[in-house]
């Protein structure tokens, strides 16, 4: 029972740590392209269809499609892939990825609440609320196993007490 709960806790904590790192890695602001200039806005204010500029070396603030420019992007936060991926017009990029080489313009495809990172966070919340298979099996076994052991110990006590008529020996053998 303890092993199952430990494994469940370890898996949930590892997933929580991963998603929290991804959430903290998300930029809070973006450079919105408006009439040829850039306006710094909160990521939550972006709407589907807005175009944002992402400078080289900056994190991509939101999921979207590249509409101008080409670069290499570090997607390791999403995919775990260590090699940068070359991207150009019409390629999809994810929030939290790092634009490595040159500025790119991205058309917002999903608002912040629907980004891949946000969806991972929501899935983690669902997972935390549900029990893992290990815990379910351990709970089922403990419902049967514990009462069975207690009944067997009680039976053993009475059997030894009946056979030896000594309380101390019966108790010693029952425990």
pLDDT tens track of the chain, all 175 residues?
567 677 777 877 777 776 666 666 677 888 888 888 888 988 888 888 899 999 998 888 888 999 999 999 988 777 777 788 899 999 998 888 889 989 999 999 888 777 777 777 777 777 767 766 767 777 787 788 888 889 999 999 999 999 998 888 888 888 8
pLDDT reported for residue 29: 83
pLDDT reported for residue 72: 92
End-to-end CA distance of the chain: 21
Distance (Å) of CA 175 to CA 73, 144, 156, 163: 64, 19, 9, 16
Cβ–Cβ contacts within 10 Å for residue 41, how many? 16
Check residue 76 and give left, alpha or beta (phi > 0: left; psi -120 to 50: alpha).
Answer: alpha
pLDDT reported for residue 87: 92
Which among 32, 37, 71, 64 has a CA at the least distance from the CA of 48? 64
d(CA 155, CA 175): 11
């Amino acid at each position: 029972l303890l092993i199952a709960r430990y494994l469940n806790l370890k898996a949930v904590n590892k997933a929580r740590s991963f998603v929290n790192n991804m959430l903290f890695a998300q930029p809070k602001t973006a450079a919105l392209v408006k009439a040829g200039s850039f306006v710094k806005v909160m990521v939550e204010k972006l709407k589907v269809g807005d175009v944002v500029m992402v400078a080289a070396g900056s994190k991509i603030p939101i999921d979207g499609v590249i509409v101008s420019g080409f670069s290499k992007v570090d997607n390791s936060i999403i995919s775990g892939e260590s090699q940068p991926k070359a991207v150009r017009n019409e390629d999809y990029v994810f929030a939290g990825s790092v634009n490595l080489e040159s500025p790119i313009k991205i058309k917002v495809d999903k608002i912040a609440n629907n980004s891949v990172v946000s969806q991972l966070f929501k899935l983690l919340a669902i997972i935390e609320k549900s029990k893992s298979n290990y815990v379910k099996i351990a709970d089922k076994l403990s419902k049967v196993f514990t009462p069975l052991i207690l009944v067997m110990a009680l039976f053993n006590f009475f059997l030894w007490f009946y056979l030896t008529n000594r309380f101390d020996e019966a108790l010693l053998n029952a425990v």
